[in-house]
Structure 1
Amino acid sequence: MSPSAAPAVSLDPVLSSGTVPRHVAIIMDGNGRWAKQRMLPRLAGHKAGVDAVRRVTREARRLGIAALTLYAFSSENWRRPEQEVGDLMGLLRIFIRSDLQELVSENVRLRVIGDYRRFTPDLVAMIDDAVARTAANNGPILAIALNYGSHAELAAAARRAALRVGADGIDEAAIEAELDTHDLPPLDLLIRTSGEQRLSNFLLWQAAYAELLFVETLWPDFDAEALAAAVTAFGLRQRRYGGL
């Protein structure tokens, strides 16, 4: 079995032992390859990827994961063709319109990390409204990374920390307090789909002691069973944080 593969074991012992990760992050990779394999346009892969988001967020709630962070649009994705960027923005609008009420009714609190204010004003307004409508919820957190890059996050956090405590007062706690994820639980598990084994400028600080899991499954094929298998794999690992 590959070191990155999730073992085919029952999830029930993991759930009962209390080893479900509090915070899971996913690099949702493989939409384009999924579409290419089926001789479909890339937009079809992105649409299938949105369906996977729905399946996985619902399963995360069922499993009791407190926070789920999804890498939806990186700061590097602007380099893609203008048509594809427009398609992604359109799918984001559709997702907000179609799924926001479910998040509200399921007591999910929506968070957005990244500089999403670079988007068009109408989309920024939609995102702000969605965040505001779920702000009073006290259940699981769904964090969406939009126009996010970890290098930019860390640089901005350092600037804010310097203004708040001065250069000599900057330490790890000062940086962490200024990160986009400052109000989320520590990252426990980071999953990347599609077989690629790199972090692609995603949650670099937060992933310092996270468990990493790279799976071959393309994102549109990632489902509830795949997330449950990843949680099971997490529960079987030993986290030493540098100790014995």
Structure 2
Amino acid sequence: MKSGKAVVVFSGGQDSTTCLFWAKQRFEEVEAVTFDYGQRHKQELTCAARIAADQKIRHHVLDMSLLGQLTPNALTRHDIAIEQKEGELPSTFVDGRNLLFLSFAAVLAKQVGARHIVTGVCQTDFSGYPDCRDIFVKSLNVTLNLAMDYEFVVDTPLMWLTKAQTWQLADELGAFQYVRDNTLTCYEGVMGDGCGQCPACVLRSRGLSEFETARREGRRI
């Protein structure tokens, strides 16, 4: 039985769109929030808005452009290559991004009367980003509750799933083809299955192949 209200941190990518369908199945009301942080591909904002409209979800877009100015990275700068050197964080890591996104999502959630914040962070296939770890989310959840004297729950439905299992979840939610066709995960800004070369596309494609193999064989992952 559905109950309560949730705000989904929403980029229009595979993970956050799967989370949007997950939230729609569980909560009476769902709203989405997207952050404009100076990302190199504005298609992300367009994609998120289109999916929210298609799913009849109230959609908020917050200006976080200062973040892109503060932290040079490959997601906001065309002159920085997308790469990961051994022993270093990927060049696509944006310092403070999930910290700020979840904090602002919480402020918004309180204003609209939502107790749940849903985010697609994942520690299993997390590309080495420290702000996708379960310990970070749990720590911030406590901090947000104390900071605003408001009982939030930060839901992370993908936290312990592989990318293949995330595809499986989308399938179980009846959204597999929708997620595959309408989301933007690619670092090069290519819709759907993407460029096939960037780290995000490689991870997505590998998980998709694993899931489709399991589905053909009639087994769960």
Q: Under TM normalisation by the shorter chain, which class is it? A: 0.3 to 0.5
Considering only CA atoms, is the larger Rg found in Structure 1 or Structure 2? 1
